[in-house]
Structure formats: structure tokens, C-alpha cells
Amino acid sequence: MRLTVVGGGSTYTPELVDGIAGRRASLDVDEIVLVDPDTHRLRIVGSFCQRLLDHAGHPAKVLTTTSLEQGAEGASAVLLQLRVGGQKARRSDETFPHACGCIGQETTGAGGLAKALRTVPVVLDIARTVRRVAGEDTWIVNFTNPVGIVTRALLEEGHKAVGLCNVAIGLQRKFAAWFGVDTNAVRLDHIGLNHLTWERGVQVSTPDGPVERIGDLLGEFGRRVADEISAPLDWMRRMNAIPSYYLKYYYAHDDVLADQLESPPRADVVIEVENELLSQYADPDVVTKPESLAKRGGAYYSEAAVQLVHALTAGGPAEEHVVNVRNNGAMPFLPDDAVIEVPATVDGKGAAPLPVKPVEPRFSGLISHVTAYEFLALEAARKGGRDRVADALLAHPLVGQYAIADRLADDLVAANRADLPWAAV
């Protein structure tokens, strides 16, 4: 099996390869092809990934190329993990909204829209090339943010795509460790959109059947949960749910903004971490994953990706995974073509959302609001135009005022003109 990674020069890539090396039995990979326009990174990351595999005794070979056509040929699955504009663009996303008193973040709000505008056209071009070179049956696993918008763009064009995020698997792993049980014994009632999710239930399998443990997490383990999520424990107990870390941008907007104004952008931190990692990767004596890779983020990404690719390509029975998938009635208050993040059955035919219990208004209102924004954001990304950008911003709950939306639209276009062809005219 050939697995192609677009954005293979990323410092994330060794995390993925390390996961493959440790799961030889579940994913029979012969070749891992890293595709990236940055030849310097590609050389360093590619060589290190091969050392990881060799050290683990895995027979797969790592190939590197700047040509998507060469990299995608013969691929059973293509993973997308690219960042258009690099960390420089991320830094802009995290800072330009501050002038308007808005959150600066790379996946939501004005910064998230900027990333979507840069990313969607590039991803669609990549997907068209993959379909032409590798065939229509090749699966695309999208890890590129904003995952929900990018995945919906792929599905709208008819590509075989599934979106992936590491939030759910990260929480599952932490809860299992706290309970002292096997990871597979923990099942989440995970609902929402990418980076806008809640755990309404956490079931643990026992010999006598599944036992609901959300009460224990908000009771005995409450302080751990509050510290992990950065959310008030009393509020979570009142909601009887655990929000994702990203909901602090909505529920604690002013506090988070104040912190952002006093702290360096996350992009600056990541640049330092990446330089450290690339230096370690370049050392020929380093043959295992550095501990500092944990500072890069993306915990359990490799595990989630390997399991998902196995489910899509192995030809076995359906498996359950939390993925980004077309709604298709799972949440009746959303359009069928909305992309939601929920547990789904996954096999060679794709992903289908499992039934979702009725969603309480305290969650469904925000989900509906952000879904409307995502529809407008994708329209702006596909068609361009400053006014479409302003309309999408006005629809976002983190913006929501026309004077601010107009100013942010102008600032966004100015900051990203080089990566938005329609903005150059």
C-alpha cells in the first residue's frame, strides 16, 4: 500500500510515521510518499522518517518529491496536512483581528476565515490532481484546518474525503488513563462541528455492559477536566457536558483576548519549536521521536490517522471513529450537506454518521450559528470577493457587527493579497 502525505515536510510528519511504525499489523504500508514544495524540509523530514521506520524494524520506504503527480500516483490514500502561507500567514491570522477587539486564532473567527480563503482553492486543486492521477477511488483524509470547511469543499466537488481532528481521540485517551481502562473501552457522545464540540456522555465498557461516567469526570475528576479544558467546573456541571478546548474562544472571549494581547502569538512559539525539531531531525544519530515533538501540538494525530486509513482501505468490517462527515439528517436542525463532527461508522464505502440524540438548545444554537458562517465562508473561498468576506465575518458569532466585519474584511484582504488571486486585481 502506498500512502501519500501532502505537506510531508511538516514537523508533524514524524508523528504520523511513528504511528505507522508502531502499528504494522493494522496498516500494511509499503511506501510513504512525502510531497512538499520545500526541498530543505523535505530532505530533513524524509531522512528522519526513514530512520524511524528502520529503527522500528518496519520495511516501508519513505520517498520524497515536490511533484504531486508523482507522489499521488498509485496511492491508496492521500493525507492532507498543509499550511498555505506557512507560519508567517498564521501569525497574521492570530494578530490582525486584535485591532478590532476580536479573537486572533488560526481556525475560527476572522483568522480562521483568512486561512479558509487561502486554503480551499489550493486543496481543491490538489484533490483534482489526486483524482486524475490516482483515480476516483483514492481516499483523501483531510487534517488541514479549518477542517470542517475544507472537508465540505472536498465533498461538494464529489471527492472521496473524510475530515479528521485529534480533539476527540485526545480526550478519549486522557479519560481512559484517568479511569485506568483500555482506550477502546471508552466511547464518547461527541457532538458539534470541528473545533466546536461537546462531550455529552462518556461510556466505559464493563463485563456487565457500558456504564456512563460523565458524572465521575465532572465530580471526582472535575478539577483535572477544568484544567485540561480551561472551563469553569461549576458551569460544566450545570451543562452536564465537557466542551472542547476551542470553546473558550466563545465562552471566555474577553479573557482570552486579554491574554492574547499580552502574550506572543502561538505562531512565534511554533516557529521556535519547529526550528528545534528540524535541528533534531537532521541529526543522523536521532532514530526515535523526540520528546519535544509534543510541544508542536497534534497529540494522537498519528493514531487517529492510522486507524482511519485502515478503516477506509482494509476492506474489513465497519469501525467507529469520530470524524468530520456530511450531516445527512443526523442533526435535523442543520442542512444535510453541512459537515459535522460526530461518531461515525467507517469502512471502504466511507463514513456515515451514527444517530445523534436530540441536541439541546444550549448547544444547537451555537452549532447552527457557526454552520451558517461556514456556508458563507466556503462561498467566499470558492468565488472570492471582498463583500463575500465581509458577509461571512458578519455571520460569525465572534464578529457579528457590520462596522467590525467591514474593517476586518479590508484588513484580511490586505494581509492575504498575495495568496488570494481575486484580491490582486
Q: Is 378 left (phi over 0), alpha (psi -120 to 50) or beta?
A: alpha
Model confidence at 28, pLDDT cuts 50, 70, 90, reads: confident
DSSP 3-state of 207: coil
Per-residue confidence (pLDDT) for residue 303, from 0 to 100: 86
Query: Is 6 in a helix, a strand, or coil?
Result: strand
Write down the pLDDT at residue 61.
97
**Cis omega (within 30 of 0) on the bond before 290?**
no
Structural contact between residues 301 and 15, judged by C-beta atoms closer than 8 angstroms = yes
Q: What is the pLDDT of residues 363-388, one digit of tens each?
A: 999 999 999 999 999 999 999 999 99
- Residue 298 confidence (pLDDT) above 90: no
* Residue pLDDT, tens place only, 234-275: 999 999 999 999 999 999 999 999 999 999 999 999 999 999
Whether 27 has a pLDDT exceeding 90, the answer reads no
> Could you tell me which residue, 389 or 296, shows the higher pLDDT?
389
Among residues 145, 142, 139, the alpha carbon closest in space to that of 119 is found at 145
Arithmetic mean of pLDDT over the chain: 95
Separation of alpha carbons 12 and 33, rounded Å: 14
Confidence check: pLDDT of 425 > 70: no
Angstrom distance (rounded) from CA 20 to CA 13: 11
Contact 394, 400 (CB under 8 A): yes
Which residues are known to be catalytic? 246
**Would you place residue 300 in the very low, low, confident or very high pLDDT band (cuts 50, 70, 90)?**
confident
Question: Above 90 in pLDDT, residue 115?
Answer: yes
Angle, in degrees to the nearest 10, between helices 266-282 and 39-56: 60
Q: What are the pLDDT digits (tens) for 124-144?
A: 999 999 999 999 999 999 999
DSSP string, 37-92: S-HHHHHHHHHHHHHHHHHHT---EEEEES-HHHHHTT-SEEEE---TTHHHHHHH
pLDDT tier for residue 423 given thresholds of 50, 70 and 90: confident
pLDDT at residue 424 is higher than 90: no
What percentage of residues in the chain have a pLDDT greater than 70?
98
pLDDT for the residue 88: 95
pLDDT value at 94 more than 60: yes
Residue 200, pLDDT above cutoff 90:
yes
Task: Mark out the alpha helices in 283-401 (DSSP H runs).
Answer: 301-313, 361-383, 386-395
Lowest mean pLDDT among 54-63, 133-142, 288-297, 353-362: 288-297
pLDDT of residue 24: 60
Q: Which 8-state DSSP code applies to residue 128?
A: H
In 249-337, where do the E strands start and end? 319-326
